[in-house]
Amino acid sequence: MTKKTLRKYSKQIVDGLEQAPSRAMLRAVGFKDGDFKLPQIGIASTWSTITPCNMHLDKLALEASIGVERSGAKPVIFNTITVSDGISMGTPGMRYSLVSREIIADSIEAVTSAQGFDGLVTIGGCDKNMPACAMAMARLNRPSIFVYGGTIKPGLKNRDIVSVFEAVGAISSGKIDEKELLEVESTAIPGPGACGGMYTANTMASAIEAMGLSLANSSAQEAVSKNKLIDCQKAGEAVINLIKQDIKPKDIMTKHAFENAITVVIALSGSTNAVLHLIAMAKEADVVLTLDDFTRIGSRVPVLADVRPSGKYLMSDLIEIGGIQPLMKRLLEAGLLHGDCITVTGKTLEENLRDVEDYPSSQKIIMDLDSPIKPESHLSILYGNLAPEGSVAKISGKEGLYFEGSARVFDSEEDALKAILNDEIIAGDVVVIRYEGPKGGPGMREMLSPTGAIIGKGLGSDVALITDGRFSGGSHGFVVGHVSPEAMVGGPLALIEDGDKIRIDAENKSIDLIIDENILDQRKLAWSRPSSDVKRGALAKYRSSVTSASLGATTEAPAW
């Protein structure tokens, strides 16, 4: 096979007399005569100094470029944005977090298509840019590989970002003082890398690896480790093999591959955001994936990992015992994974796992299949008169499976947080936060500030929280998000009043407002959509085109 046949797209940019202007500009950025005959590999980095999750990705992009050059291709590094959830959490800026997923996917598509890259390496290190990378890879459908930026090292006393959010609740209830809060704040984040528990970043990295879009152990390496540098170089080398074998993302992102990803997310007790992101990724790959698939798979897959936020251990602890590869091998041997799925190695998942060694016998992080933390999924898809289109609950079992209480209704996250910190929420309350959905926010903010405050107040088992927004992977407790249809479109959440009785039954997968239907009908007639301060810009465009959370909260252009 000649190098020319590996240049399906780049030859349109640089071949022929008429493309002399293109070559002239590329010479200025470092191209030599011979480079124009090589396949061009785009390296999409989400680097910025905005957040520790991404502050080191520029170095990882350079390592990937070494691998690309080693394989006989020409690397071209480009950048895209990121938005920090942890920094914007609890503020109006958090509206842009989920919106950024669409912006990132669009920008990677735009650059790759415009510049004619023959293959693609994407490098992500934070919650939204990882699914965004995968969405762009599927949309472009050119030989591609994903690299995870890696997890952060634990802070002092094994702290992480969630320790800080929960300390805010603790100081308001007098459990700690300002000096102790400052100590937690100053020591929780020691350097580069994504948030350290099985929060959304580590969840999505694990899901993408299980799907076959990244190399083995890419999800289970610390951001500052030598292994992560090697991972980047190997990824750069692997793209040419994918081009030679003509293996494209949609060949990898099959329905069975998504089922593998869901299975691993459940076994790891992963974030509720995985539901939203996997559905969005599947849509780009032309795979039909619904909320009911999570219920179907969840009924037979147990929770095996004792990891934060509901468990004890951090991703760094899981890395020390071998990462997720031994877990995947166990799941495969139990018949819970599809081993015939092709991966970015050019081999099947079963072939990749063949020589993987099991965990050390002394480890206490991953339970045996016959003695799980929970016999079925912690991700419960709940339906009922409050969520006719579905909702997503994260029920570890530690907070119970049933909750019935009185509604305390808030039309914004800020109002709810203020009430929690001012001790206005008591045991038996169901905190309702509405108008925070995809259209309502707009942007479907995460609710780590109120859930962290509830835990910090010691009310984690005594108070429930439901919302048409979503939750950080760091949230835990009796929480239900993604309630659909959302309040802003007149969903039932908009009709709740203070004192209404709400029943959440995770065992029977239901969430209901205990009220006469006639009263609900009367409230519906009296309801009107609240005004919004969002009139233009990215948020307004997002609101006009975003779908329901039950459909992945993706943006869709109107039919032409």
Residues near 423 by beta carbon (within 8 Å), at least 6 away in sequence: 172, 173, 457
Tell me the longest C-alpha to C-alpha distance in the chain.
77
CA distances from 376 to 115, 277, 365, 370, 501 (A): 46, 21, 17, 12, 28
Give the position of tokens 């092709």: 342
Query: What angle do helix axes 161-172 and 448-456 make, rounded to 10 degrees?
Result: 60
Q: How many residues does the chain have?
A: 560
SS3 74: strand
- Please, which contacts does 490-494 make with residues 24 or more away whose CB atoms are closer than 8 Å? 490/524, 490/527, 490/529, 491/388, 491/437, 492/385, 492/386, 492/387, 492/388, 492/520, 493/386, 493/432, 493/434, 493/466, 493/468, 494/434, 494/435, 494/527
Residue 385: other Cβ atoms inside 10 A: 15
Provide Rg for the chain, Cα atoms: 23
Query: Which of 472, 484, 548, 550 is the catalytic position?
Result: 472
CA atoms within 13 A on the CB side of 525: 5
Residues near 403 by beta carbon (within 8 Å), at least 6 away in sequence: 430, 464, 478, 503, 504
d(CA 525, CA 490): 10
d(CA 71, CA 485): 49
472 is catalytic: yes
533, with CB counted inside 10 A (0-12, 13-18, 19+), is exposed
Residue 21: other Cβ atoms inside 10 A: 8
Tokens representing 362 are: 């002394």
Please, where are the H alpha helices in 151-310? 161-172, 178-187, 200-211, 226-245, 249-252, 255-267, 273-284, 291-298
Give the position of tokens 């929060």: 199
* Catalytic residue numbers, as ranges: 472
